[in-house]
Amino acid sequence: MSALLEAIDLKKQYSMAGQTVHALRGINLTIDAGDYVAVMGPSGSGKSTFMNILGCLDTPSGGQYLLDGEEVGRLPEQSRAKIRNGKLGFVFQSFHLLPTHTALENVELPLTYAPVAARERRERAMRHLAAVGLADRAHHRPAELSGGQQQRVAIARSLVNDPRILLADEPTGALDQATGEEIMALFQSLNDEGRTVVLVTHDRGVAEHAKRRIAFRDGQVMEDSAA
Amino acid sequence: MTMALRTALRALWLHRLRSILTMTGIAVGIAAVILMVAIGTATQKQVIDQIQNLGANVMMVVAGQRTGPGGVRLSGDTNVLLTEDDAVAIRAQLPSVREVGATWWGSGQAINGNRNSWSRMHGITAGFMEVRAWPAVSGRLITDEDNAAVAKVALLGQTVVKRLFEPGEDPVGQVIRLRNVPFQVIGVLASKGQSTQGWDQDDVVYVPLATARMRLNNKPAPQIQSASAIAGKKRFDGSGKTGFQKVEQVKANPSVVFAGAVNSIMIQAHDAGSLRTTTDEVRELLRQRHRLMPGEPDDFDIRNLSEVAEARAASARILTALLVGIAALSLLIAGIGIMNIMLVSVTERTAEIGLRLAVGAGRRDILSQFLIEAAALALVSGLLGVLLGFGGVLAVDAATQIAPRIDPLTALGAFLGAGLIGVTFGLYPAWQASRLDPIVALRRV
C-alpha cells in the first residue's frame, strides 16, 4: 500500500490568554490509501487539531503535511479550499445540513464550488443519495428527515466529489445506539469499497470498527495499533 | 450564479418579515428621490416658463410717491412723475438698454355686437411687445406710426377674443367698441397665461399709448399741455418754465392729466449681466430728469422683474436640492438598514458559512454570496420604490398643479442606485462572513 497521507514532525502551537499552548508536539504518521483509522483521545489531547490540519482547515506551525505526496500544510487559503473541495470529504457530529435546502441540494453543494454543470451535479448527487438509500427523500428538507437520514445525506454530500479521504468527526455522537450502528455499517461498506476513512471518536465501540486506532495525549501519539 | 441567486432569494424568503421591513425603507427612499426630482424639475420648469414669459432681462419703472413739503407723501395718481419723455430718454441715452416700452394703465368695457368684456385696456408704445417678447398670432403689433397718428386700433389678448368673438371667427379687421369708442382690431396676441402674481395676462386690450390717453382715460378729459412736452427732448418751452416746473403745475391741479404721463416703463437690457448697472443708470438718468436733489428720495420705483424671477428660480433650485438631499438621506438610512440586516444574517448563518468553507467554498465565494443577497434585497426594493415613486408622481399630478413628469432616466438611476446601496452596505457584512475561521464557524450549530 502507498502512503496517501504523511505527517512529518507536525507541530501546532497557539497562544491563549498570553500562554503558549502546544496542541501538537511533533506528530509522525503515515496513513495508506484504503485504510480505516480511528483517532482517539481525551479532549485537549490534540486530536481535533490534528484532524483540522488533515482537513486543510488549519495550518501547522511546524513540520510537514503531505497529501498524495504534495506538501499542502502551508498552502494559501484559496489552494486549501480547492483541496478541501477536490480531495476531502467531511462528516460532522451535527450533520451541518443547510435547513433551507433539500437533501439533493445539500448533496450538490460541494459541486457548486467545483464547479460542475447543473445537470451533472444533479445526476451525481442523486446517485450518491441512492447509494445511501435515500433516493426517495431527495426533495425533503433536513427538518423532515430523521437524525440517521440526515447523517446519511451528510455522508452522501461528503462523497459526491469522490474524495481521497473521508474525515468524520464523531459521526455517531448525535445519534442513538441503533442508528449509530447503521452509520458505522455504512462507513464499513465504504471502506470495503476502498475508501480511506479517518474518524475521530471518544467511543471505544465505534473505534472497534476501524482497522487501526491512534490514541492522542498531550499533543503526542500515545498508541498506534499499526505500530 | 443562478444557484447563488436562488440561494439568496431563499434566504430572504426565509425571513420574509425582516426582508420586507428592510425593503420598505429602501423602497420609500427610492420613491422619495424619484418624486422629489420630478416635483423639483416641474417647479423649476414653471419658474423658467414664467421668466421666459416675462421677457428676458426686463425691469419695470413705475411712478412712485412724491414727498411734498413737510414730508407728506402724495398719491401716485395725483401727480405725473413718469413721462413718455423719460422712456424716450432712457432708450436714447443708455447704450446698455436694448428696448423700452411705455404703458398707460386703464380698464373698461369692450363691446362687439351683443358680447362684451370688462378688461384691462393699456396704452403702449411700439417697444412694449418687443420687451415682453410677446408675438401676435394673427394680424400685427402696434407701431410708432399708430402712436403718431393716435390711431384707433386695438390688439387683443386671447381671453378678450374668446369673450367677444365666436369660436373660429377672425377678429382681425373687425371693429369693436372700447369705452364706447370704435376701434379696429389689428391683431391677436399669443397666449401668455397666468402672470407670476396669478392674474390672467390674456384678459387685456392694447391700444397705442397716445390713443389710450386721449380716448380711454378714466380721469376727466385731458388738458393737453404744450407740444414740446410730448416731443420730449427739450425741457424748456416758450413759456420759459422748465419741464419740472410744469410737473409741479400739474400736481397743483390733480384733475389735469399731463399729456406725456405714463404709468410704467418697461426696459429691456442687452444682457443679464448688465441688468444691475442698467438699473443704476436708469435711476441716475431719471433722478437727473426729475430734478431730484441729492438726499431726496426717488419718485419712482425700479422693479427688476428678471431678478425677482431669477431669485424665485434660485429658491426653487435650492428647495429641490434640499428635498432630493433629504430623500437621499433616507436612502442612506435604508442602506444602514441593509447593513444591519446583513450583519444579523451573517451571524445567524455562521455554521452555514463554516460548512460552505469546509466543502470547498473560497473566501470570494462567501463574499459574493452575501453581496448577491444584499444586492437582490436592494434591487427588489428598488423596483418597488420605482413603482411607488411613479404612483406618487401620478398622485401629485392629479392632486396639484405642479405637473411633475416621470423621467425614465431618473427611475433607472434610482433603481441602479438601490443596487449600489445594497452592494455598498452589504460589503462590510459580506467581508466579515468571508473572514470567518471555518473551525470556529463549524462549532456553531
Q: Which residues of A touch B356 (CB under 8 A)?
A: 109, 113
pLDDT value at B82 more than 50: yes
Same domain, B20 and B66: no
Q: What is the pLDDT of residue B409?
A: 86
Among candidates B11, B351, B360 on the partner chain, residue whose Cβ is nearest the Cβ of A84: B360
Domain for residue A67, yes or no? no
Give B234's pLDDT tier (boundaries 50, 70, 90).
very low
Which residue, of B270, B304, B338, is where some domain finishes?
B304
Residue A156, min C-alpha distance to chain B (Å): 12
Report the distance separating Cα B331 and Cα B417, nearest Å: 9
Which residue, of B258, B274, B304, is where some domain finishes?
B304
**Pair B304, B275: CB distance under 8 Å:** yes
Q: Which residues of B touch A110 (CB under 8 A)?
A: 359-360
**CATH number for position A159:** 3.40.50.300
Residue B46, min C-alpha distance to chain A (Å): 55
Strand partners, B328: none
Same domain, B229 and B286: yes
Inter-chain touch B360–A113, beta carbons under 8 Å: yes
Report the distance separating Cα B412 and Cα B267, nearest Å: 45
Among candidates A58, A101, A109 on the partner chain, residue whose Cβ is nearest the Cβ of B359: A109
Best to test chain B binding among A84, A95, A119, A164 (most B CBs inside 10 Å): A84
Q: What is the pLDDT of residue A198?
A: 96
Domain for residue A94, yes or no? yes
Highest mean predicted confidence (pLDDT) among A181-195, B55-69, B80-94, B232-246: A181-195
Same domain, B89 and B104: yes
Same domain, B130 and B147: yes
Domain for residue A7, yes or no? no
For the complex shown, is ipTM > 0.90?
A: yes
Pairing label, strands A70-71, A62-67: antiparallel
In this prediction the pTM is 0.68
Q: What is the pLDDT of residue B247?
A: 44
Which residue, of B271, B304, B337, is where some domain finishes?
B304
Report the distance separating Cα B267 and Cα B128, nearest Å: 9
Same domain, B173 and B277: yes
Residue A227, min C-alpha distance to chain B (Å): 30
Inter-chain touch A82–B358, beta carbons under 8 Å: no
Q: Which residues of B touch A90 (CB under 8 A)?
A: 358-359
Residue B383, min C-alpha distance to chain A (Å): 26
Inter-chain touch A85–B360, beta carbons under 8 Å: yes
Question: Could you give the residue ranges of the DSSP H alpha helices within B55-152?
Answer: 84-93, 127-132, 144-148
Domain for residue A50, yes or no? yes
**Pair B344, B71: CB distance under 8 Å:** no
Domain for residue A101, yes or no? yes
Task: Tell me the average pLDDT across B232-240.
Answer: 39
Nearest CA-CA partner of A169 in A61, A52, A82 = A52
| Minimum CA–CA partner of B2 in chain A | A118
Q: What percent of chain B has pLDDT over 90?
A: 27
| Minimum CA–CA partner of A84 in chain B | B360
Q: Which residues of B touch A109 (CB under 8 A)?
A: 355-356, 359
Domain for residue A207, yes or no? yes
Same domain, B204 and B250: yes
Give B259's pLDDT tier (boundaries 50, 70, 90).
low
Q: Which residues of A touch B363 (CB under 8 A)?
A: 77-78, 81
Domain for residue A27, yes or no? no
| Minimum CA–CA partner of B4 in chain A | A112
Report the distance separating Cα A161 and Cα A110, nearest Å: 7
Task: Tell me the average pLDDT across B137-151.
Answer: 91
B166-190 residue pLDDT tens: 988 899 999 999 988 999 999 999 9
Give B36's pLDDT tier (boundaries 50, 70, 90).
confident
Q: Touching check for B445 and chain A: CB below 8 Å?
A: yes
Range of the domain at B366: 2-51+311-443
B 403-442 near A (Cβ less than 8 A) = 438-439, 442
Is the bond into B254 cis (omega within 30 degrees of 0)?
no
* Lookup: cell for B35: 418624486
DSSP one-letter code for B227: H
Same domain, B258 and B324: no
Residue B12, min C-alpha distance to chain A (Å): 11
B196 or B99, higher pLDDT: B99
Inter-chain touch A92–B3, beta carbons under 8 Å: no
Give B295's pLDDT tier (boundaries 50, 70, 90).
confident
Same domain, B353 and B291: no
pLDDT value at B251 more than 90: no
| b/e code B298-309 from CB counts within 10 Å (16+ = b) | bbbebebbbbeb
Range of the domain at A130: 35-59+76-224
Residue with cell 382681425: B172
Best to test chain A binding among B13, B350, B359, B434 (most A CBs inside 10 Å): B359
CA atoms within 13 A on the CB side of A125: 25
B328-344 residue pLDDT tens: 888 888 889 899 999 99
Inter-chain touch A57–B355, beta carbons under 8 Å: no
Q: Touching check for B348 and chain A: CB below 8 Å?
A: no
Same domain, B20 and B102: no
pLDDT value at B194 more than 60: yes
Domain for residue A131, yes or no? yes
* Lookup: cell for A49: 487539531
> What's the mean per-residue pLDDT of chain B?
82
| Minimum CA–CA partner of B351 in chain A | A96
Question: Could you give the residue ranges of the DSSP H alpha helices within B265-407?
Answer: 275-289, 305-348, 350-358, 363-399
Inter-chain touch B439–A100, beta carbons under 8 Å: no
Report the distance separating Cα B337 and Cα B324, nearest Å: 20
Q: What is the pLDDT of residue B79?
A: 57
Inter-chain touch A85–B10, beta carbons under 8 Å: no
Residue B10, min C-alpha distance to chain A (Å): 7
Q: What is the pLDDT of residue A12?
A: 94
pLDDT value at B25 more than 70: yes
Same domain, B173 and B223: yes
Task: Tell me the average pLDDT across B426-435.
Answer: 94
Report the distance separating Cα B177 and Cα A149, nearest Å: 103
Q: What is the pLDDT of residue B326?
A: 85
Same domain, B141 and B254: yes
Inter-chain touch A81–B356, beta carbons under 8 Å: no
**Residue stretches of chain A with pLDDT short of 50:** 1
Same domain, B148 and B226: yes
Q: What is the pLDDT of residue B228?
A: 39
Among candidates B360, B363, B445 on the partner chain, residue whose Cβ is nearest the Cβ of A110: B360
Task: Tell me the average pLDDT across B276-290.
Answer: 88
pLDDT value at B223 more than 80: no
Phi, psi of B141 (to 5 degrees): -95, 175
Q: Total structural domains in chain B?
A: 2
Residue A118, min C-alpha distance to chain B (Å): 9
